[in-house]
Chains A and B, each alone.
Chain A
């Protein structure tokens, strides 16, 4: 059975979430992918102020398709998370509490998640139309010039995801072939 959770995530909720849990997320989250992450990271490196407050937030790695008339948002499934690995630890140090994407993370991100008490959720890659039905509203927060890669705020209801890596660093992602080393 899926656990219903609300955003912002409390430390209590984060501690309760275990790798493998199915969740339905309700609340508001940020979005951002490659280009926005690069800009946020460069600002942090230069000691400058970020255009959005990420403290306590969850960020969804997504570049939505345009919304058809009558739709709140276009199809919006997750993009591959590993491309954000270079930038993620710096954002977690700044108070980011959760990330939603697809696929594996590197050890530096996992270590930073443990240190900062943070969760990584996997949304189903390629289930963009299904996922977008749980996104009720979106507004642009920053970097409008990046188009689909801008930072948006999504208001979601029962957004389906799975805890892929929990705050202890436990993971349910299969990152190595289970038959490795055996005759194939």
Chain B
């Protein structure tokens, strides 16, 4: 069997670039959605908020500064080709070093504390990043990376629905979570939904859903239709840009699903703001 050797430094450089780029340059999917929202917004305040967000994202790209001061906690979904061997260090360390360098050299905010309850001392380099690795066939490493701010992360929720709740139960939980969040998570938001699996699988799927470009649909037409229906329902809520009223409360709803147990139907809702930063690379 052929193996492929990848230098640890190449992994570090790739991760560093992902995090600097995603914080400076908003994705095309979000920018197009913001422009469309601005165009269609009927509330003058809402329209003005959207113009300022668009202007903000352009300034950030031009000046190469983070588009939001909350540069989040780094989360990476890795598909690691089983024929890859890392030379010059461990894969885990190489990724953490990439995050560390991006946050230090890239003037990103360090927002991670070492202990959640007792000390809460800042780690000063935004590590540790959270890394989910799957081993796949092949000789490549594919990384899907994101960094969500906690204004929106704090508005997320999970519920262990049971099968009798049905489609109506799923919709109600998602919409209730968005209603509860209201003006807090920096609307217009992106809603990531994970359905099925187990308790933690649903939450991971929801996170992964926030990292999918919002101009893509779920490949199952029934879930794709549900994404569209929920988006319309959320925009009818009227929270609007910055929660000051208007037609655009959300830019997109992305759903990911997974097989589940005969007794269960877990649903996780990971709310993300308009600063929906995600980027992919392959080494």
Contact between B233 and A184 (Cβ–Cβ < 8 Å)? yes
A133 to B237, CA, bound (A): 33
A98 to B110, CA, bound (A): 28
Among B6-14, B53-61, B76-84, the stretch in contact with A: B53-61
Q: Which of B86-126 contact A (CB under 8 A)?
A: 107-111, 120, 122, 124
Interface digits, A91-125 against B, CB 8 Å rule (1 contact, 0 not)? 00000000000111000000000000000001011
Contact between B239 and A177 (Cβ–Cβ < 8 Å)? yes
A31 to B15, CA, bound (A): 32
Give the residue name and chain of the A residue nearest to B155 (CB): A80
Contact between B52 and A124 (Cβ–Cβ < 8 Å)? yes
Contact between B109 and A126 (Cβ–Cβ < 8 Å)? no
Chain A residues in the interface with B (C-beta under 8 A) = 20, 22, 35, 62-68, 71, 74-77, 79-80, 82, 102-104, 122, 124-133, 147-148, 160, 162, 164, 172-180, 184
Given the interface pairs A129-B60, A177-B239, A179-B237, the reply to whether A63 lies near B182 with Cβ below 8 Å is no
A82 to B182, CA, bound (A): 12
Given the interface pairs A128-B69, A177-B179, the reply to whether A74 lies near B242 with Cβ below 8 Å is no
Given the interface pairs A75-B60, A79-B151, A174-B243, the reply to whether A128 lies near B67 with Cβ below 8 Å is yes
Q: Which of B56, B69, B238, B242 makes the CB contact (< 8 A) with A64? A: B69
Contact between A104 and B184 (Cβ–Cβ < 8 Å)? yes
Residues on the A chain within 8 Å of B182, using CB: 103-104, 174-177
Main secondary structure of the interface of B (DSSP, over half): loop
Interface digits, B154-166 against A, CB 8 Å rule (1 contact, 0 not)? 1000000000000
Q: Least Cβ distance of A150 to chain B in Å?
A: 11
Give the residue name and chain of the B residue nearest to A182 (CB): B236
Contact between A129 and B179 (Cβ–Cβ < 8 Å)? no
Q: B70 within 8 Å of A by Cβ? A: yes
Given the interface pairs A74-B66, A148-B110, A184-B236, the reply to whether A175 lies near B183 with Cβ below 8 Å is yes
Given the interface pairs A65-B108, A103-B183, A129-B59, the reply to whether A79 lies near B239 with Cβ below 8 Å is no
Q: List 13 A-B contacts (CB under 8 A).
A: A63-B111, A66-B108, A71-B63, A103-B183, A104-B182, A127-B55, A129-B57, A147-B110, A174-B182, A174-B183, A174-B244, A179-B237, A184-B233
Give the residue name and chain of the A residue nearest to B104 (CB): A66
A102 to B187, CA, bound (A): 11
Contact between A172 and B245 (Cβ–Cβ < 8 Å)? yes
Q: Which of A35, A79, A129 makes the CB contact (< 8 A) with B56? A: A129
A113 to B55, CA, bound (A): 32
Residues on the A chain within 8 Å of B151, using CB: 79-80, 102-103, 125
Contact between A63 and B244 (Cβ–Cβ < 8 Å)? no
Give the residue name and chain of the B residue nearest to A66 (CB): B107
Given the interface pairs A178-B237, A180-B179, the reply to whether A102 lies near B245 with Cβ below 8 Å is no
Q: Which of A20, A35, A66 makes the CB contact (< 8 A) with B45? A: A20
Give the residue name and chain of the B residue nearest to A172 (CB): B244
Q: B194 within 8 Å of A by Cβ? A: no
Contact between A62 and B69 (Cβ–Cβ < 8 Å)? yes
Residues on the A chain within 8 Å of B242, using CB: 102, 122, 124-125, 162
Q: B49 within 8 Å of A by Cβ? A: yes
Contact between B53 and A174 (Cβ–Cβ < 8 Å)? no
Residues on the A chain within 8 Å of B59, using CB: 129-130, 133
Q: B205 within 8 Å of A by Cβ? A: no
Q: B214 within 8 Å of A by Cβ? A: no
Given the interface pairs A64-B109, A174-B243, A177-B238, the reply to whether A127 lies near B183 with Cβ below 8 Å is no
A173 to B239, CA, bound (A): 8
Q: Least Cβ distance of B10 to chain A in Å?
A: 26
Q: Least Cβ distance of B272 to chain A in Å?
A: 11
A65 to B122, CA, bound (A): 14
A130 to B245, CA, bound (A): 21
Residues on the A chain within 8 Å of B85, using CB: none
A76 to B175, CA, bound (A): 31
Q: Least Cβ distance of A19 to chain B in Å?
A: 10
Q: Least Cβ distance of B125 to chain A in Å?
A: 12
A176 to B243, CA, bound (A): 10
Contact between B48 and A128 (Cβ–Cβ < 8 Å)? no
Q: B145 within 8 Å of A by Cβ? A: no
Q: Least Cβ distance of A118 to chain B in Å?
A: 19
